[in-house]
Amino acid sequence: MIKAVRRPVNEENDHKRRWLILANVSLGTFMATLDGSIANVALPTISAEIQSPLHIVQWVLTAYLLTICATLPIIGKLSDMIGRGKVYNFGFLIFTVGSAGCGLSESLGALIAARIIQAIGASCLMSNSQAIVAETFGEKGRGRAMGITGTVVSIGSLTGPGIGGLLVGSLGWPSIFWINIPIGLIAFVAGWYILPKDKSQKEKKPFDYVGSSLFIIGMVSFLYTVSNAEYWGWSSTQTIAFGGFALLAFLVFYLWEQRTAFPMLDFSLYHIPAFAIGNIAALLSFISLFCTNVMMPFYMQNVLHYTPSLTGYTMMAYPLMMAIVAPISGWLSDSIGSSWLTTGGLFINALGFALLNTLTIDESPWIIALHLAVFGLGGGMFQSPNNSSVMGSVPKPKLGTAGGLNALVRNIGMVLGISFSVSLFSFQMNRLAGHVDINEAVTGQDQVYMLQSLHTVFWAAMGVCLVGALISSFRLKKKRGGHC
């Protein structure tokens, strides 16, 4: 009788602990993604108070993103070597120290340096969150848990400007960083007791310093080129030089990783069909979706002449719908698999882009919100099952590396989507009107030209989305063949 009683109690405790771990991971994911966008609205205020031009202050955002992209796979590899829970939890501490540095900064250089420290902490959180969830939840519960973390990523990324605006307006720009400190410290202490105490590898392997350095050089050069190519010109000497240098660095990195005994990046992961297909589909999904994140606010403010607050409320239709759909799709993926949900989600996103091309120069906020809700539906259907499929396909000892690469794909997709949409819009606007200023409201014929340029971007994004859906559909064939 005693044994019969103890087993359910232990199972109940394990169940509660799993959800406490998920809550801690979700908090870290929210903080890391929130701080990628919360500073956007504070840039004009920071520029005025620090007395630096806005295009220089922009590095407060750029340095954060570049650091995350450059360090994600490296920290993922380190996590597999010394313990994912340990690295993740210290990520809270590093993030908190960086946030305090940001709040105390009185010069732009100090603020950017503190943002780099903050980004390293965020990278520790991002690279391990999915790995910890995948390890904590079994195959039956993993999709549901990934659905919740996917919702948190969406909410964190898209609510940053709104929360930042309230804090900056009420308490000043340092408040957007000070708010992280009590949250980060509480999460660190809670994680110390809650997170799994995974052990480091028994067999100590040397760290690939050469490969890590080459990857950082290549990634920073690549993202710096993509971020500035629109201003330099895609055929300019600077773009060609920096782009060529980035490609050379990546080539040397690949050759080094192939010959070294203990590579930083395990390319064998891409021999796993579900991992490779999921990552490529995710990259194309984020490239296409960030065309809406960038272009729709300009459409609403500069073509429809909405106020910034009305634009913000209208844009919330996307994350709200995703917050509803993502946990449901994650739960469904535990029962029916991820293949149909991911492919169907991308097709719905493609339909969303087709619907955006029916918009005119006179639309109500409710109509715009309904269009954006379509992307919340498609994104929610795709993201959670795709993450579950990717993380469920790799061996347990490589979950940290896989989580880092999965987060890297998301961040690179965001950067490419922003650059792609702005460049295509500018090219089309120049061709039609002979000038372009995406930051100014327009009237008359320029409204028509701007709308036509936006439609060009949306058609192109639809094409990218359809390619992603086609690649994702390969999972259906693999599933029928019994390999995925």
Looking at residue 40, what is its pLDDT? 65
In this predicted model, what pLDDT tens digit does every residue of 423-472 receive, in sequence order?
Answer: 888 788 888 877 655 555 566 677 888 888 889 999 999 999 999 999 98
Residue 5 has pLDDT above 80, yes or no: no
Looking at residue 216, what is its pLDDT? 85
Global pTM value: 0.75
In this predicted model, what pLDDT tens digit does every residue of 206-225 receive, in sequence order?
Answer: 777 888 888 888 888 888 88
Looking at residue 465, what is its pLDDT? 93
What residue type is 194 in one-letter code? Answer: I
For the chain, the distance separating the N- and C-terminal CA atoms, rounded to the nearest angstrom, is 43
CA nearest to 298, candidates 194, 438, 169, 402: 438
Q: Let me know the angle formed at the C-alpha of 261 by 259 and 263, rounded to the nearest 5 degrees.
A: 80
Residue 353 has pLDDT above 90, yes or no: yes
Separation CA 301–CA 13 (nearest Å): 51
Contact between 19 and 148 (Cβ < 8 Å): no
For every residue of 432-450, DSSP letters joined together read HHS---TTS---THHHHHH
Separation CA 130–CA 391 (nearest Å): 7
Looking at residue 464, what is its pLDDT? 93
In this predicted model, what pLDDT tens digit does every residue of 155-210 receive, in sequence order?
Answer: 776 666 667 767 777 788 888 888 888 888 888 888 888 877 665 555 566 777 88
Burial class of 140 by CB neighbour count within 10 A (0 to 12, 13 to 18, 19+): exposed
Alpha carbons within 13 angstroms on the beta-carbon side of residue 38 total 24
CA nearest to 32, candidates 108, 144, 128, 106: 128
Residue 244 has pLDDT above 90, yes or no: yes
Phi then psi for 49, rounded to 5 degrees?
A: -75, -35
Looking at residue 248, what is its pLDDT? 94
Looking at residue 66, what is its pLDDT? 81
Quickly state the pLDDT bin for 482 (edges 50, 70, 90).
very low
Residue 3 has pLDDT above 70, yes or no: no
Alpha carbons within 13 angstroms on the beta-carbon side of residue 263 total 17
Looking at residue 162, what is its pLDDT? 63
